[in-house]
Structure 1
Amino acid sequence: MKILTIRWAFALFCGLWALPVFAQLTVSKLFSDHAVLQRGKEVPVWGWAPPGAEIRVLFNQKEYTTITGADGKWRVKLPAMEAGGPYEMTIAGGGDRVTFRDLLFGDVWLCSGQSNMEWILQSSLGADAEIPRANDPELRHFKVKRGGAQKPEPQLPGGDWAVCSPEKAPYFTAVGYYFAKELRRTQKVPIGLINVTWGGSRIEAWMSAEALGIENGEAMVKQIEKERKMVEENRMTLIRKKFGRVPKNDEGLQNGVAVWAATDFDDSDWPYMELPALWEDRGLKGIDGIVWFRREFTLNEAQAAQPARLFLPPIDDSDWTYINGHKVGETIGIWNEPRQYQIPAGVLQAGKNIITVRVEDTGQGGGIYGDPEIMYLAGADYKVRLDGPWRYQLAEYRSGFRHRMNLIPMMLYNKMIYPMLDFPIKGVIWYQGESNANGEDALKYADLFPALIEDWRFRFNQDDFPFLYVQLANFMEARPEPSESDWALLREAQTATLFKVPNTAQAVIIDIGDADDIHPRNKSDVGYRLALGARKLAYGEALEYMGPLFKYQKTEGKKIRIGFSHIGSGLMARDKYGYVKGFAIAGEDKHFVWAKALIEGDEVVVWSEEVPDPKYVRYAWADNPDDANLYNKEGLPASPFRTDK
């Protein structure tokens, strides 16, 4: 495609270009080199400059002018464009100018939520095979820098557009990447992803004060800040008592050298901590930041002469690990996986050895935790256990408030969503809910989630754009008997949104989660299932885009017959014998037992000899419905449901 240049307009701007150039002109951070702009809609371009300044925008051989208001804000609109590019855009005013190159028009999708949407491609299943072929110049990604504010602020905290390549794609949202990859395959237009996520965030943090029904949001946040600062002051008092100071910068690193990892470093005044354990459970409650751990072990000459392997349980969140001052490994941002590091020959020594682990915790639990049986050093013919007492020292304390803005109502909306409300988008993909899946919070989600969708649509002023979301995956230990479940309640609230809010679709993933990991690594199927919703709702394709949804139940003697919508080309059970699993049944007493179930045409018949007079049915009603196996023939799993609500 030909680059559309603006050389012809040089004369128009000669006088303006001659002005002194200094940084007075500011443009929304959404505009930069490689940006994707929404096709088929007028695109506002906006920013700030001195009040009364003339702003000139050159784009596609046309000039657009405006004057900044008293508040310094300016805004022009580019005409609706078809998919394509690349283009250039030059903006001048207030004694400054800026040119953005390699702009494309296509479809822009906002990717939001918590850590499972934030999860990068590099850390997902199949990354080693996918990343080398992630080379698509018309798939682009904008990562919004984290930030929060007491009241709506006009500028994003930061971010840049990146073109999909093996060098850049590893840091894209994995779900968003696979979603966009499918749309690139089927729609053949440029796709831009705006990644506006924060791990651990509650839904309330992404909502406006009005959506939450709060009259004075700024006052509320100030009160929360005041209360949290009191907590912080109390916490720092305890830290001073325990460590004699409140360290602000990591004293263990000096000019990049890990001085606290040296074998001759004197740690005799450091306290002891029994490991493995989260440090919150060992007296450091509410502490985020950096803690160093040291432990001594002894080897004989034969053992020290060998290479060895170090095994450690999970470390929350990141670690830098040393033996005798030599760095032997590091793992960044993976809080729930054990570590294994190779120790080359020559690092170990006969007699005393020192292992040092520098741990960084960015929020919530922190430390070296998990199974003590996987905490050891092993050579070819020996094993040294490392669980037990370790010396430790707090090296850097980080204020909890700054790192927990993701839990406070409105904070993320005010700084990460509000500044982009003028930016046209095609739709939203959303993966959030884990932080709200507890007790009453799960029930409230049934009101909060529809309110968020409707509020975003109103504020973006773009009609009922498609809002596609992921239902919570299966997680935690599977229960042997039917039981209550907060995660099932949250899934119920998510499913109910389909019937409350139009132009929405849900990707059910209770079949691809991980019992031991709240961050299942299979992100490709998640992105693909979301893309099915986009292909239907955004692009009008005639296809089945969701799994079976409960529609009705009919009692027939000792059995209950269940009907579904979204059966596609038919129901099926993923079982070589055709058995349908995951159903429970109860009578008037609501005492649920596992049920037998068979597919009969477009319905499922459910019964149990233990329940002669059945009234209610549940399907996949559990934190981890690990054996639920009802699908449509398009391969999409049925959504969990209950009829006893």
Structure 2
Amino acid sequence: MFKSKLSQALLLSASFLFQAQADITLPKIMDSQMVLQRNAKVPIWGWADQGEKVTVSFAGQTKTAMPNEKGKWMVELEPLQASAQGRDLIIKGKNSVTLNDILVGEVWLASGQSNMEWTFAQSNKQEFEYAKTFADNKNIRFFHVEHHLQAGTPMDDTLGRWKLPAEFIKHSHMVSAVGFYFAAKLHNELNVPIGILDANWGGMRIDNFISEEGYKSQNLPLRKHHQNNDPNVRLNKLKRMRDSIDHAITLAEKGITTSILEDRVNGWAENIIYNAMIAPLTPYAIKGAIWYQGESNRTDNKYFEKLKALSYGWSKAFRVKDIPLYQVQIAPFDYTRGQNPKDHTLGDNVWKAQYRGAKEILGVGIIPIHDTNINIKDIHPQHKRPVGERLADLALNKNYGKSNNASAPEFASAKSANGKVIVSFKNLKNSLTSFDGKPLTHFELSADGKNFVAAQAAIKGKTVEVTSASLPTPKYVRMGWSDIAIPNLCEKDGWPVYAFPAQEVK
């Protein structure tokens, strides 16, 4: 534990020391067994001495670059065709580095809090049996940021490595289960290698993942502490940490415990995760991102602006215009522990923002998951395969031209007729049904849009008729708008209907 803390600090401070190194140095993400994005310019970068010409060769291409004043160099490979053939990528300067077994396919970022971070070991065991069938598949690969890291300014490198299914399926606790099922579905449908950049941290807010440029784009305040960027000051901090750790190890060997010095060598800022876990991956060429986060922002009425900032910042950092960013609608959960069954804080702040983001932010989409056997007492839904596969279906539809039913019906209108409220839906390609075979649930009516009563609902063709004996002339209708509601209305052979807040009856 002590040594790992020191190694993290040393590596994350390396951004100020690379220029002093004589040999070519590469970031962790540039390594053997990586997957490069097809049909796009592919940046390859690292560090070398000033004046040292660097040559990069791959797949018949040769590119050259010179380090800048900080010792950083970068070349861009011309767009590559997908290939499952492992080839060498050779980088030459004063020394020569050969990266082996490089594939070309589709690369996506998987990020968020604990529900994205959850591994096979923490999720449904039957789904893991399916994952095991990919154990020998060498065409699905993860670059896994292996630690929870933080920094006050963007770092040049991080702690992580490329992993193949033979390793991460055997050990079951290494990579995102949602990310894997997403990758597996893409691989099965596209028949090309899939790379996932896996960077997550449970319990963290969206604020921590947004770049400074993203904050500025929405005029959001970014809290950060001033830090001294003098390399000598940083080096002295690292030495003090080393001395503290060495002393603690000496005592621990004698069965004595003590505290260790934990300086914030790289400072602090509200976007600590972006700086330490996302920025070092940029500008690696990717297609898009999948995002599973929001529980920690449940009371945040600025979630839409922050989602917009996330999209803008990642688009700039990864150099993908209007980056495809597919979010998981946060599942119902009993946040009040039974004290307020009508509470809709999550809906008002996060669901609304997610829905709005999918409509107004270019590239952003959303999938519902409340039909996946949700337990409202568990904030971590156990079934990750349908989540990953539904995200993949959305990507296949939006980015790869697949004609699938990758959309959920949503509220269109509500009209009054003969004492009934007739609710119609958009994006409805098939008939309506209930996913559990039971009568429809969680429809409510109101006279004022604030106080609602439970209502009966029945499917009539492609509409739903809603009635309540206690409220013969309702003015508003809603469905599933509480943090614990699991409405069962869905499209036949499709996705569940999105929940909706109070809607006026015309």
TM-score, length of structure 1 as denominator length: 0.66
Does residue 461 of the first structure (1) align with residue 319 of the second (2)? yes
TM alignment of 1:281-300, pairs within 5 A = none
Give secondary structure in 1 for the equivalent of 2:428: coil
Q: Is the 8 A contact 1:60 1:87 kept in 2?
A: yes
CA distance in 1, matches of 2:218, 2:385: 41
TM-aligned CA deviation for residue 397 of structure 1: 7.8
Q: Is the 8 A contact 2:45 2:74 kept in 1?
A: yes
**Alignment partner, residue 625 of structure 1:** 485
TM-aligned CA deviation for residue 99 of structure 1: 1.0
Letter in 1 for 2:474: P
Does residue 540 of the first structure (1) align with residue 401 of the second (2)? yes
**1:9-63 residue CA offsets vs partner (Å, 9 max, x unmatched):** xxxxxxxxxxxxx863112322111100000112111111111111111222443
**Alignment partner, residue 192 of structure 2:** 189
Give secondary structure in 1 for the equivalent of 2:346: helix
Q: Is the 8 A contact 1:558 1:613 kept in 2?
A: yes
Give secondary structure in 2 for the equivalent of 1:212: helix
Does residue 564 of the first structure (1) align with residue 425 of the second (2)? yes
TM-aligned CA deviation for residue 483 of structure 1: 1.9
**Alignment partner, residue 368 of structure 1:** none
Of Structure 1 and Structure 2, the greater helix share is in 2
Give secondary structure in 2 for the equivalent of 1:473: coil
User: Any gaps of 5 or more consecutive residues in structure 2?
Assistant: 1-20, 229-243
TM-aligned CA deviation for residue 224 of structure 1: 11
Choose which of 343, 349, 365 in structure 2 pairs with 1:505: 365
Q: 1:482 to 1:124 in 2, by over 3 A?
A: closer
Give secondary structure in 1 for the equivalent of 2:444: strand
CA distance in 1, matches of 2:133, 2:475: 53
**Alignment partner, residue 138 of structure 2:** 137
Q: Is the 8 A contact 1:131 1:170 kept in 2?
A: no
CA distance in 2, matches of 1:644, 1:520: 29
TM-aligned CA deviation for residue 107 of structure 1: 0.1
TM-aligned CA deviation for residue 452 of structure 1: 1.5
CA distance in 1, matches of 2:123, 2:226: 40
Does residue 607 of the first structure (1) align with residue 467 of the second (2)? yes
Q: 1:639 to 1:479 in 2, by over 3 A?
A: farther
**1:345-396 residue CA offsets vs partner (Å, 9 max, x unmatched):** xxxxxxxxxxxxxxxxxxxxxxxxxxxxxxxxxxxxxxxxxxxxxxxxx976
User: Any gaps of 5 or more consecutive residues in structure 1?
Assistant: 1-21, 226-245, 261-393
Give secondary structure in 1 for the equivalent of 2:96: strand
**Alignment partner, residue 377 of structure 2:** 516
Choose which of 403, 412, 416 in structure 1 pairs with 2:277: 416
**1:483-525 residue CA offsets vs partner (Å, 9 max, x unmatched):** 2321222112111111111333212112333222211221111
Q: Is the 8 A contact 1:209 1:217 kept in 2?
A: no
Q: Is the 8 A contact 2:151 2:267 kept in 1?
A: no
CA distance in 2, matches of 1:428, 1:141: 14
Give secondary structure in 2 for the equivalent of 1:221: coil
Q: 1:538 to 1:613 in 2, by over 3 A?
A: same
**Alignment partner, residue 445 of structure 1:** 303
Choose which of 454, 465, 471 in structure 1 pairs with 2:329: 471
CA distance in 2, matches of 1:480, 1:553: 31
CA distance in 1, matches of 2:332, 2:263: 30
CA distance in 1, matches of 2:261, 2:342: 40
**1:129-171 residue CA offsets vs partner (Å, 9 max, x unmatched):** 2453232110000112432222223x22121111112436641
Q: Is the 8 A contact 2:251 2:258 kept in 1?
A: no
TM alignment of 1:97-496, pairs within 5 A = 97-126=96-125, 129-135=129-135, 136-145=137-146, 146-153=148-155, 155-165=156-166, 166-167=169-170, 170-213=173-216, 220-222=223-225, 254-255=252-253, 409-438=270-299, 441=300, 443-476=301-334, 483-489=342-348, 490-496=350-356
Q: 1:601 to 1:479 in 2, by over 3 A?
A: farther
CA distance in 2, matches of 1:217, 1:587: 38
Q: Is the 8 A contact 2:117 2:202 kept in 1?
A: yes
Q: 1:214 to 1:637 in 2, by over 3 A?
A: closer
Letter in 1 for 2:454: W
Letter in 2 for 1:198: W
CA distance in 2, matches of 1:434, 1:612: 37
TM-aligned CA deviation for residue 584 of structure 1: 1.1
Q: Is the 8 A contact 1:251 1:395 kept in 2?
A: no
Does residue 640 of the first structure (1) align with residue 499 of the second (2)? yes
TM-aligned CA deviation for residue 636 of structure 1: 1.4
Letter in 2 for 1:450: K
Q: Is the 8 A contact 1:151 1:217 kept in 2?
A: no
CA distance in 2, matches of 1:532, 1:404: 40
**Alignment partner, residue 349 of structure 1:** none
Does residue 48 of the first structure (1) align with residue 47 of the second (2)? yes
Q: 1:401 to 1:474 in 2, by over 3 A?
A: farther
CA distance in 1, matches of 2:472, 2:221: 58
**1:585-611 residue CA offsets vs partner (Å, 9 max, x unmatched):** 101262101111111122212121111
CA distance in 2, matches of 1:555, 1:618: 14
**Alignment partner, residue 455 of structure 2:** 595
**1:181-232 residue CA offsets vs partner (Å, 9 max, x unmatched):** 111111111000000111111111111223223999999411699xxxxxxx
Letter in 2 for 1:619: M
Greater Rg by CA:
1
Give secondary structure in 2 for the equivalent of 1:643: strand
Letter in 2 for 1:464: D
Q: 1:566 to 1:23 in 2, by over 3 A?
A: farther
Of Structure 1 and Structure 2, the greater strand share is in 1
Give secondary structure in 1 for the equivalent of 2:51: coil
Give secondary structure in 2 for the equivalent of 1:122: helix
**Alignment partner, residue 86 of structure 2:** 86
CA distance in 1, matches of 2:162, 2:117: 16
Q: Is the 8 A contact 2:443 2:455 kept in 1?
A: yes
Q: 1:399 to 1:179 in 2, by over 3 A?
A: same
Could you say what the CA RMSD is over the residues aligned between the two structures, in angstroms?
3.2
Q: Is the 8 A contact 1:481 1:593 kept in 2?
A: no
